[in-house]
Amino acid sequence: MGKLVIFLTTVLFLFFIIKQSRHFFKELKKEKIGYCLVVDKYEVEGRYILVFQQGQQEWALDCPYKIYQSVPILSRGSLTLYEKKFDSFEF
C-alpha cells in the first residue's frame, strides 16, 4: 500500500512538472508589444484586420470577429502577440 502511494505521488508530481514547463515555454513565445493605439480597422475577404500603432511602428493583424466589433478606432490598450500573430488586446 505504501509503495502505491509513493508511486502515485511521483506520477502526479511529474505530471504537474511537465504541465507547468509546457505553460512556461508557451508564455516565452508571447511577445508583449505594450501600449498601442488602434488607428484603423477593415475587412478583407472575411478576414478582420486591426491596425495598431506605437510610435513610428505599425502592425496590421488579423483578429477574431468579436474583438474586431468591440474595439473602437482610436482606442488605446495593451497588445500581445503569440508567434507574430494577434493574441490579445486589453483596454
Flag whether 20 is in a domain.
no
User: Are β-strands 47-54 and 76-82 bridged in parallel, bridged antiparallel, or unpaired?
Assistant: unpaired
Q: Give residue 77's domain range.
A: 31-90
Q: Is the pTM of this model over 0.85?
A: no
Flag whether 26 is in a domain.
no
Q: What is the mean pLDDT of the chain?
A: 92
Whether residue 39 is predicted with pLDDT greater than 90 in this model: the reply is yes
> What is the C-alpha to C-alpha distance for residues 45 and 47, in angstroms, rounded to an integer?
6
Euclidean distance between the first and the last CA atom of the chain, given in angstroms as a whole number: 54
As given in the structure block, the three cell numbers for residue 90 are 486589453
CATH of the domain at 39: 2.40.50.660
- Total domain count, the chain: 1
Consecutive H or E run containing 26: helix 2-28
Confidence of residue 83 (pLDDT cuts 50, 70, 90): confident
The pLDDT value recorded for residue 34 is: 85
Flag whether 39 is in a domain.
yes
The pLDDT value recorded for residue 26 is: 85
Flag whether 23 is in a domain.
no
> What is the C-alpha to C-alpha distance for residues 2 and 33, in angstroms, rounded to an integer?
51
